[in-house]
Structure 1
């Protein structure tokens, strides 16, 4: 008898929480006029996967390496991906590719790659991580071409902060809202060498742990923040400079919104930031180095629409 009573108490409390969250979400969308702007990340799926690869090659001749990973993940289920945002709250697409061909030369190639679809609990942990070092000395007709490309594309609708934040200072009460966003970051490099030592690293964090379920869908614990980093360094061998050409680039398109009262309710785009940077070098290259990073984290509470 006691167990039955406890069951109905738990069920009643769950229903109250769900109704409260849904009501707050509707009220937030109707009345909030501004909020803190940041990527939320996306919650992990219940079953997660992780895999690693380690590659080491040393050869006189030809070496090739081709890697490709694409992950599309949303916080709601459906028939096909990607979904329009009317069918999900958050959705991210992560892409990483590498194509390296070193032909007719002395080649030393090492690379480690880790992919993990589990939610990342803190900064310093990443869903995608790569580390590569390759050295090449070509013969008279020897040549190495190596390209890397990393993309992180995230979009989300407005959501009450308390459903996605643990930090009480980022979400001091239940009436603060993070507005809609749509952000994409592209980073990468390309080299064409007859001699050189190349090192690159890639890191992406966009999948978060599942927070306390607020309603029928999973929401991310957004405290760690979304991050996309790419570093490249090209040097010569000993006192001999690298020979050839190198390019590194970053392209960012940030679109952030506000939530305004209206009938029908409007979620207008209130910020549109486009940034592009490309660095190149050719000839005898003593040093070519570029460090690029993107971070998007909720560090302040959204607007309390009840005080507006």
Structure 2
């Protein structure tokens, strides 16, 4: 009897009006696009490796960690983890010189995307086809910042100790000090959580590996996390399908920490002073009054892990994993 294993996982994160979700980072003015295509038919040995590590911030990532800015004024620590401050000097127009807006403290968001792939095949006949595309520009919901599709077939020579070993992993790690929802949505009905997209720290990793003497496999990996507005959901997807002789492992690991808006005070030109400020405090822990910490409350701590392992004659195996992390999910 033919055995078929089909596993589908969908991990979706949203809590409307409460703990929120990821706010994508907007693209820089100059963006990049990298595309590669590989095709091979061989008798003997083949190796193929790929590696991507991509960090991006809405501010300057060179001084991270920590996120944001911290100043010590008269012995008092001031941080963008609880205070956002701008000085609006548009009213000063001296000899045609417009000074404009000066930012002193602003919340920061940073993401790290990583992808690794490796194939080593020796003493056998094989076919390999792979296409990878990376784009650092703003994406919409049905577009990807990174996309990989690979097909690999291998049969070891009967008179040699032939073997094929593959591994593939996709990771997305995101952290934020929070955002002003009024500046991040195109949808007029999206208000965030009391006007904010709270702080978060979320990481997702998924992939697969195989080792054996015979295999026919297809893998797909994709993600998007760069967008102009928070209306676009962050998505991570991975799938593997194969049959063969050997051992296969496929997994997903995730850790989600989502925030909630606590106490907050907004100042817009108070008493005529050209100041725009957002002050946030956690009235449960007392931060920042009682010690260091973000002004948002951590209201979600979620860990999700799953791993499937098969060894022997694998007639059919398929596993699909998907994450959608968004304030406005599809």
TM-score, normalised relative to structure 1:
0.76
Residue 18 of structure 1 corresponds to none
Structure 1 position 47, deviation (Å): 0.5
Kindly state the Cα deviation for residue 175 of structure 1 after the two structures are TM-superposed: 5.5
Structure 2 counterpart SS, 1:165: coil
Q: Is the 8 A contact 2:19 2:258 kept in 1?
A: no
Aligned partners of 1:267, 1:162: CA distance in 2, in Å?
17
**Conserved in 2, the CA contact under 8 Å of 1:226 and 1:297?**
yes
Task: Determine if contact 1:153/1:183 at 8 Å carries over to the other structure.
Answer: yes
Match of 1:287 in 2: 316
Post-superposition offset of 1:81: 5.9
Aligned to 2:67: 85
**Cα offsets for 1:259-279 (capped at 9, x unmatched):** 322463732311100010000
Distance in 1 of aligned mates of 2:163 and 2:194: 60
CA distance in structure 2 between the partners assigned to 1:91 and 1:146 by the alignment:
30
Asked if the contact 2:194/2:261 (under 8 Å) is kept, the reply is no
Q: CA deviation at 1:163?
A: 1.0
Q: Secondary structure of 2:191's match?
A: coil
Q: Give the aligned partner of residue 129 of structure 1.
A: 147
Aligned match of 2:162: 142
| 1:181 matches 2:210 | no
SS of the equivalent of 2:185 reads coil
Look up the match of 1:303: none
Query: TM-score normalized by structure 2?
Result: 0.71
Deviations along 1:70-110, whole A, 9 cap, x unmatched? 000000125x2644223451100000000110111001000
Q: CA separation in 1, counterparts of 2:64 and 2:137?
A: 20
Equivalent in 298, 309, 321 of residue 269 of structure 1: 298
Counterpart-to-counterpart distance in 2, 1:171 and 1:260 = 16
Assess if the C-alpha contact under 8 Å between 2:261 and 2:296 holds in 1.
yes
User: Could you say which residue in structure 2 is the equivalent of 1:55?
Assistant: 38
Using the TM superposition, give the Cα deviation of residue 181 of structure 1 relative to its aligned residue in structure 2, in angstroms.
0.4
Q: Distance in 2 between matches of 1:177 and 1:259?
A: 7
Alignment length, in residue pairs? 247
User: 1:162 is paired with a residue of what secondary structure?
Assistant: helix
Cα RMSD (Å) of the superposition?
A: 1.8
CA contact (8 A) 1:158 1:259 kept: no
